[in-house]
Amino acid sequence: MPETETPLPPLDPADWEQYRALAHRMVDESLDYLRDIATRPSWIPTPDAVRTEIRDESLPRVGRGDTATYEDFLRLVRPYPNGNIHPRFWGWVMGTGSPQAAMADFLSSVVNPQMGGLDHAPIYIEQQVIRWYAELMGYGPNAGGLLMSGGTMANVLALAVARTHSAGWDVRKTGAYGGPPLRVYASAETHSWLKKSCDFLGLGDDAFRRVPVNADFQVDVAAMSEMIRADRTAGLRPFCVIGTVGTVQTGASDDLEALADLAAREELWFHVDGAFGAMAALATHPKAQVAVRGMSRADSIAFDLHKWGYLPFDVAVVLTKEDRHLTDAFSTQAPYLASATGGLNASGSIHFADRGIELTRSFKALKVWMSMRAQGTDLLGQHIARNIDQAQYLEELVRAQPALELLAPVPLNLVNFRYVAPGLDAGALDALNRRILIALQEQGIATPSGTTINGRFAIRVAITNHRSRNEDFDALVTAVLRLGAELRA
């Protein structure tokens, strides 16, 4: 044993005052960066030289120091993100974040608590934001939940709970094959999380019964009912019905009242994927209220806060109507985690690790709690309502232009449209619109994404952006018309 401790440079700052100055500089420059975001292009592709420099750096066995590393971040990383913080970003479904929540993430890392359980204030913060969101979604006091990394993870967790609860045998003991093959019913428009989840839970893709949709992209409930009946007759085991509030393609919402009735009649678990759409519950907008009607009848709801909650990645919520549904599916009895009569692991404290898969969890709850308290959920609902109005505004702009065509109804916050020109066949129109989309992105004008609706390529605008204003949609339409004419020529 050495008698004296080896002297080492600390991993904490060697000079706290010097580091304080650098940290203040980081904060100041970050706030300027966010304040001036609208003055920059919506996207700047990463230059080859930057990509090469990042890739070719050899393993840094000796540190370069804090200031040099921060300056490399400013030069190599910060100018070239995917750009979802920009007011003209409407691709896929991503939120914008906020400076306040970014600071909360910083504070959360400073305290750096372990959120699997134990008796400490951060746990009570997560418990409280779960209660608040349960109330906003129309759940009662017995509801449970936990924060997750994203909609995919929140949904897969809910599907695992549904399986434990409704398979009809002890899945936790005998696994997925302790009885007849399990089947889950959801619309063909359901996000790819469900296919992945069926793979991941060992159910297989055959377990996912893809139910057709109507002209408004809502699930055909009568067809679903018939599929359940036929599967039972064939000796299969239906266990779960899934509805979506806000589908990823068009923003359609299923008839949740009808799905809740069906699930009750068939004694199946009823889950709602509200990845972005569930947040419409916070808005008094009539379209929002139509979208979420019946949602509180679900046994479980999954939704993101990093989409229409405008928080930085990553944070999502899974709620179950009864808290015990989560613990039934995930609690364990490991001796090294057993609670004590007092101290840090006192019994009665909340063990989030018993409500999901993750044991070690981060303090995401702080940015949720601070944002909710500082801004208020009514204001959040007003921003959500404004995004719905902006989708309608864009819909009207598209309808007013003979050279543009709407490709799907606009029930919520998503608009699918394309440029049209006489004399072009279907393939040429698709190719032209793909080129328009790439040009919009590469010229840094705006970032919609693309999809295919009823066989036609669509420029897809998903508005979960609190920084967008009507003039941003004016600019989008002007650019699509210009690029359409230019690229056609």
Binding site for ligand PLP (CB under 6 A): 92-93, 150-152, 191, 193, 244, 246-248, 273, 275-276, 304, 316
Q: Which of residues 263 and 414 has its CB atom nearest to ligand PLP in the complex?
A: 414
Q: Shortest distance, CB of residue 22 to ligand PLP, whole angstroms?
A: 33
Query: What secondary structure, in 3-state letters, does 277-329 show?
Result: HHHHHHCCCHHHHHHHCCHHHCCEEEEECCCCCCCCCCCEEEEECCHHHHHHH
Q: Which of residues 247 and 320 has its CB atom nearest to ligand PLP in the complex?
A: 247
Other residues' Cβ atoms within 10 Å of the Cβ of residue 452: 13
- Angle at which helices 99-111 and 16-35 pack, to 10 degrees? 150
Q: Which of residues 272 and 436 has its CB atom nearest to ligand PLP in the complex?
A: 272
Q: Shortest distance, CB of residue 272 to ligand PLP, whole angstroms?
A: 10
What angle (nearest 5°) sits at the alpha carbon of residue 295, between those of residues 289 and 300? 150
Q: Shortest distance, CB of residue 115 to ligand PLP, whole angstroms?
A: 19
Q: Which of residues 191 and 297 has its CB atom nearest to ligand PLP in the complex?
A: 191
Q: Which of residues 253 and 296 has its CB atom nearest to ligand PLP in the complex?
A: 253
Q: Shortest distance, CB of residue 190 to ligand PLP, whole angstroms?
A: 8
Q: Shortest distance, CB of residue 307 to ligand PLP, whole angstroms?
A: 7
Q: Shortest distance, CB of residue 449 to ligand PLP, whole angstroms?
A: 10
Q: Which of residues 283 and 483 has its CB atom nearest to ligand PLP in the complex?
A: 283
Q: Which of residues 161 and 350 has its CB atom nearest to ligand PLP in the complex?
A: 161
Q: How many residues does the chain have?
A: 489
| Radius of gyration from C-alpha coordinates of the chain | 25
Residue with the CB atom nearest ligand PLP in the bound state: 151
The Cα 240–Cα 268 span in angstroms is 5
Q: Which of residues 276 and 473 has its CB atom nearest to ligand PLP in the complex?
A: 276
Q: Shortest distance, CB of residue 178 to ligand PLP, whole angstroms?
A: 28
Q: Shortest distance, CB of residue 194 to ligand PLP, whole angstroms?
A: 9
